[in-house]
Structure 1
Amino acid sequence: MDPFEMSPLGGRDFRPVTNNIVPYDQVMGSWPWDNRSQLGLGNLEFKDEVFGPESLEFDTSGRGPYAGLADGRVVRWMGKDAGWETFALVSRNWSEKLCAQAKDSTTKKQWKLESRCGRPLGLRFDRKSGDLYIADAYYGLLVVGPEGGLATPLATQADGEPILFANDLDIHDNGSIFFTDTSNRYNRADHFFILLEGEATGRLLRYDPPTKTTHVVLKGLAFPNGVQLSKDQSFLLYTETTNCRIMKFMLKGPKSGTTEVAANLPGFPDNIRITEKGDFWVAMDCCRTTAQEVLIYNPWLRGVYFRLPIPMKYLARMVGMRMYTMIARFNGDGEILDVLDDRKGAVMKLWIGTVAHNHIATIPYPLERH
């Protein structure tokens, strides 16, 4: 056997490209550090009760949280006495015998079952109808009524191309659903290769409920991930995980239809959510290392390095891929207002879901300053 076939890439058609990332040192020149590692002050809630709760939501009555899990269910917290209940499913193929293995396994072990069981990621309630909209990594955009049940598919393709990796969504006041399709080359189970390759085939999509049509708003995006509309609906923010940045897409005004960089980040962003005041929290895995920077700007070296017949966990360790959680608060102009991190990796009242762990973290905010 060719030893390179034993590499993390195996026989993949791996096409690394140069990433469009602002250098780490340049970003950190104006970045405020959290010297107290304040996320470490948070609490781990529901440990070993929820696996991979990527997105958290509360309904119009304040019930919740609702969370999409690694086993394909959307669950709802009913209080200490009743605990968690299954609220919705995204797949007709779901069965407890096959899919519920995530109750006692890591989310990575569940990847091979996700295409059958589903993997609900982004969750948003329509505050007018009470319906819950779901971005599922394999089943696209779906909706389920206020009483839950089996979700109804709304969008599985756009402009003739399948939605391969629906990720997050937000709902406009006019009823339109903006959502991300992370890649047209790799699905969620292979999401790590999107980062390694640096490919930019992701899209920002818009679903129009009256016409039941899906439109491509933007394409050629590098791992588009979290989505959040501004308070006045004049713009939309989305994160580009590969390029370590927040992008701003204008919906109103003289710049309508244009895109600009809102903020460059030291780490790899995931979801983004708005505060009551109209500011934005973004969660990210932090931070990039010098070795990672070398790989980022030299795609040929990535092509050689990740073809070495060495397990991925060791290759990652050698370039310092040991991330910790950071969340940062920005205003609409991309100015940093606050940074909370957990450099010790202890945990990550903010509700913080995590796609790769078996808990939800909460932390009171604003924190008491000393």
Structure 2
Amino acid sequence: MKKIIYILALLSSTIFFSCEKIFIEKDLKTDDPVENFEYLWKQCDEKYSFFEINNIDWNAIHDTYRAQITDGMSKEDQFIVMGNMLNELKDGHVNLLSDFNISDYHFDWKGPQNITPRVVYEHYIGQDGYLNSPFQHNFVGGGTDVGYIIFSTFPGTMTDDQIDFILNRYKDTKGLIIDVRQNGGGAATDMTRLVSHFMGSESTVYRTRIKEGKGHNDFTALEDIKIKPSDGTKYTKPVYLLTDRGTFSSGSFFTTAMRSLPHVTVMGDTTGGGMGLPNGGQLPNGWTYRFSVTQTWDMDGNLYENGIPPDVLKFINPADTDKDDVIEAAIAAIKAL
């Protein structure tokens, strides 16, 4: 017997939903291409969370790709067909994984990479910049009016002491720039911990719901997600949050939570989205998969699964080798306060 087990592990109800476990057991173990295709299609049909929002005709997609599945086809060819089917969802949280390949939708290709890392680290962080993983930071714009912090992931290791040190260093600035361009996400615990240091009081930062029935529109009721302010150092002066299409998953959750605060302005490009938390399981042939099973709404009732638009749209000039126009715009805005 092979047990097909789905586990959705979310944070406590004060941040996300309570931990949930969904168990489905079937006597399934087969390498048959048709059975594996139909199993994957059905699981996605019953549990994926964005069919209606993105106007996806999943039945038509079934017919298109089922016609490409044949008895005796190679595992590699079968994987390509099934992976291509999942990529029709255009969701970076949707993957098929085998022992020889992983299907992956490149959400960050929806727009230009709105950052040149060499320029940022050489001309804004500099040799005297501070490195305290995952953060790199320094004063920018000349003088000590503006602080700049960049990090490319939420690694699950952020601490309050670490954040306190950084914010204490910039406590006398006029404003702070936080750069999450090309931040592909990571641990939600880091995201909520960091947001809590920019809050003066407890606040509902967004709402979320989880898929719970077989119909494409069967969800739980929306739940308010609240974050309490940190007991440590808090920064409530103006903040400019820099984003681009590579800002995904926890990066987008962070953007949604931060933009709900009155002193935060989002600048740059639309994020890559990825605000449906993923759940997954195992196919009868042993391959594993995951796809989004939640929806997240901001406090104005917007569902930004396909990306959160900035308050101020701004792009770099890729030809520049000594300045970043997005950072420069944020510096100018803070100095003008």
Is the TM-score greater than 0.5? no
TM-score scaled by length of structure 1: 0.27
**Structure whose CA Rg is larger:** 2
Bigger fraction of residues in helix: 2
Bigger fraction of residues in strand: 1
TM-score scaled by length of structure 2: 0.29
